[in-house]
Structure 1
Amino acid sequence: MTTTPARPAAPVAEGALSDERFEELVAPLRREIFAHCYRMTGSVQDAEDLVQETYLRAWRAMHTFEHRSSLRTWLYRIATNTCLTHLESRKRRPLPTGLGQPAADPAREPQPDHDRTWLEPLPDALVWGTEPADPATETVTRDNVRLAFVTALQHLTAQQRAVLLLREVLQCSAAETAEALGLTVAGVNSTLQRARAQVARLGEEAADAPAPDLDDPRTRERLAAYVAAFESYDIPGIVRLLADDVVWEMPPFPEWYEGPTQIGTLIGTWCPASRAGDMRLVAAGTANGLPVYGLYMRGEDGVHRAFHVQQVQLRPDGVTHVVAYFDTALFAAFGLPETWHRDDSRSATV
């Protein structure tokens, strides 16, 4: 997908448009429409498909565009309704901590739940590319795609998500939101109130946790120590790097774990590794503003194969949250190979 910085779209001329002219008009908006679809669905693959469907619908309906709103607002209206149609027959995508159950006993073997669809991480490169963003052109911010916020959205109904995003993220008026969703202004206001209350009930203190500063040498040092502890299979070392309130979750396993000791027991009991060198962590950029690593596990044949993708949150006092996504299809999304070799030029640092 394009990573062209968002900029004001040119006015739409009357009459039929060529494919080239249509793409010229809508291409600058693609990345923010993609981010919007991701927030609505919690899935990168679904978001990519929905962006394509949005642009197809927009192309077919361009002759109906009446210039009463901006092209950007018109596209968001199409994208939102495309997402709502998509979500009619689909369940929400939670993380294990969102299932309402207490922290699990690490002595019990985790059991995967493949019947449930789970929240997916958003590779930052899909939205911002590899170049630093220009704050003057930013319409999608790290804050409005942060993991805790997207996780909280999954607890809302599809309509509540749409209203909250249009009103508070995109700054649409109540009247614009009502027109986009076929609601009354009073309906929009009451839906927004319920959505805000639900998000607040889920705990906005977690959503407000700042992303780590990956340019800070101390942050890089802590992440390097974390990688080294895993690659050395140093469980006491891993435990020492975890904050007292650390949470560990690993979809599609519905169990989640809390506290350094419990997580150390989980890794020591159920991780297939048994000695130093069994695991390799390869830096894969960032997702939802957080550092990401591809973890490769050594098999009996000596080959390190894709095992899971880790998304790591940390504070000065240690790692506070790890989501280990046991979906090896995500390796391709982060540009990672299926196997790791000793001569791989990738660094395990951020």
Structure 2
Amino acid sequence: MSTDTRLGEVDEPTFSGLAQQHRRELHVHCYRMLGSFEDAEDTVQETFLRAWRRRETFEGRSTFRAWLYRIATNACLDLLAKCRPEPATGGEVRWLQPYPDRLLDEVPAGDADEPETAAVARETIELAYLVAVQHLAPRPRAVLILRDVLGWAAKEVAELLGDSVNSVNSALQRARAGMREHLPAQRQDWTGGEEDAGTRELVRRFAEASVATDIPALTSMLRDDVRSSMPPTPGLHVGRDTVVNNWIEEGFEGITGLRAVPTAVNRQPAVAFYLWRKREGAYLPLTIDVLRVTGGAITEIFIFHADRFPRLGLPERLPADGTE
């Protein structure tokens, strides 16, 4: 059976099987558009529902996969118009949520063996990129992701959005200019790239110093222009002294009973912290710190609350002996 010519004739289980093959990559696409793991999950469900209801409109002029991407993009734009009519401002994204690497590994490789393609895929899922893209208006955001991340032609994007090619090209230029405003000037300054031995050692030291609440040691690992935020809590802290002072003000200094578990999200190193709770007789989730490392120093820290642990596949608790 060809989905290109007889999609309207398939039953629901068959259709679902065809669509589910693309679930993870659609989820990542929606996540780039929305910045929220949970909103992306809901939008993929809405995409599949719309696709099933409109299956007879599929004419085979594009692939089934491209058709699903069109539906998913419009579902994202509809959600943004309803729930987030204004883009992020001020350099922070309060609705930002992390994406576990173990799920990113499910995305089909495609041409990811090509070095440049692999770099683009990695960089456009890092939190620095997600924050920048959330500062764009929804339609230029969609144009940027479809053109620069997915590699769609301007004509294809124009057909999806119901715009002219000239309008799409203009939106792409505006989007690229907007991204430059929210990302450091040089690419190597905003992506940590592939994790090397030096980065792993820095993350190890960061974890140890955090468990010991050794503020001087932590301070020594931060670049002078480091940034820190804790979505959805408002507040963006910029600069080494500001970040350190915020840690002290929040009572981090002198805290005891921490354990650290290294992990990775958004293709970045991360450390999940657990705090000893005597009543439960176990270490329970506290926060997860996602790091951006550049030139041997920490340049950005995203701190997420304990409610993110289940989505990231992290243990619900650590026993007293530290085994999982």
Give the TM-score normalised by the residue count of structure 1. Answer: 0.80
Q: CA 1:19–1:344 in structure 2 vs 1: closer, same or farther (change >3 Å)?
A: farther
Q: CA 1:229–1:45 in structure 2 vs 1: closer, same or farther (change >3 Å)?
A: same
1:21 partner amino acid: T
Displacement of 1:88: 1.0
Structure whose residues are more often helix by fraction:
2
Asked whether the equivalents of residues 246 and 321 of structure 1 are also in contact (C-alpha less than 8 Å), the reply is: yes
Aligned mate of 1:151, from 98, 108, 131: 131
* Matched pairs, number: 316
Q: Does 1:19 align with 2:12?
A: yes
2:82 partner amino acid: S
What secondary structure, in the 3-state scheme, does the structure 2 residue paired with 1:69 have?
coil
What secondary structure, in the 3-state scheme, does the structure 1 residue paired with 2:121 have?
coil
- The unaligned stretches of length 5 or more in structure 1 are 1-9, 100-115
Q: How do residues 72-111 of structure 1 correspond to structure 2 at under 5 angstroms?
A: 72-91=65-84, 94=88, 98=91
Aligned to 2:260: 281
Q: CA 1:165–1:282 in structure 2 vs 1: closer, same or farther (change >3 Å)?
A: same
Aligned to 1:102: none
Asked whether the equivalents of residues 51 and 71 of structure 2 are also in contact (C-alpha less than 8 Å), the reply is: yes
Q: How do residues 187-266 of structure 1 correspond to structure 2 at under 5 angstroms?
A: 187-205=167-185, 208=188, 209-214=190-195, 216-266=196-246
Asked whether the equivalents of residues 213 and 219 of structure 1 are also in contact (C-alpha less than 8 Å), the reply is: no
Q: CA 1:333–1:314 in structure 2 vs 1: closer, same or farther (change >3 Å)?
A: same
Aligned to 1:172: 152
Q: CA 1:218–1:191 in structure 2 vs 1: closer, same or farther (change >3 Å)?
A: closer
Displacement of 1:299: 4.9
Displacement of 1:262: 3.3
Aligned to 2:291: 312
Q: CA 1:345–1:233 in structure 2 vs 1: closer, same or farther (change >3 Å)?
A: same
Alignment RMSD: 2.9
Q: In structure 2, how many angstroms separate the alpha carbons of the residues matched to 1:245 and 1:59?
A: 49
Identity of aligned residues (%): 36
Q: Does 1:127 align with 2:104?
A: yes
Displacement of 1:82: 0.8
Q: Does 1:181 align with 2:161?
A: yes
Displacement of 1:167: 1.8
What secondary structure, in the 3-state scheme, does the structure 1 residue paired with 2:219 have?
helix
What secondary structure, in the 3-state scheme, does the structure 2 residue paired with 1:310 have?
strand
Displacement of 1:300: 6.8
Aligned to 2:307: 329
Q: CA 1:265–1:29 in structure 2 vs 1: closer, same or farther (change >3 Å)?
A: same
Aligned to 1:111: none
- Deviating more after overlay: 312-321 vs 229-238: 312-321
Asked whether the equivalents of residues 273 and 297 of structure 1 are also in contact (C-alpha less than 8 Å), the reply is: no
Displacement of 1:321: 0.9
Asked whether the equivalents of residues 178 and 184 of structure 1 are also in contact (C-alpha less than 8 Å), the reply is: yes
Q: CA 1:182–1:204 in structure 2 vs 1: closer, same or farther (change >3 Å)?
A: farther
Over residues 185-232 of structure 1, what are the superposed CA-to-partner deviations in whole Å (9 max), with x where a residue is unaligned? 222222222212211222353765333533x33222221111110111
Aligned to 2:31: 38
Over residues 247-294 of structure 1, what are the superposed CA-to-partner deviations in whole Å (9 max), with x where a residue is unaligned? 22222332232333333332233225525x4222222x3222111222
Q: CA 1:159–1:309 in structure 2 vs 1: closer, same or farther (change >3 Å)?
A: same
Q: In structure 1, how many angstroms separate the alpha carbons of the residues matched to 2:13 and 2:187?
A: 41
Asked whether the equivalents of residues 290 and 303 of structure 2 are also in contact (C-alpha less than 8 Å), the reply is: yes
What secondary structure, in the 3-state scheme, does the structure 1 residue paired with 2:54 have?
helix
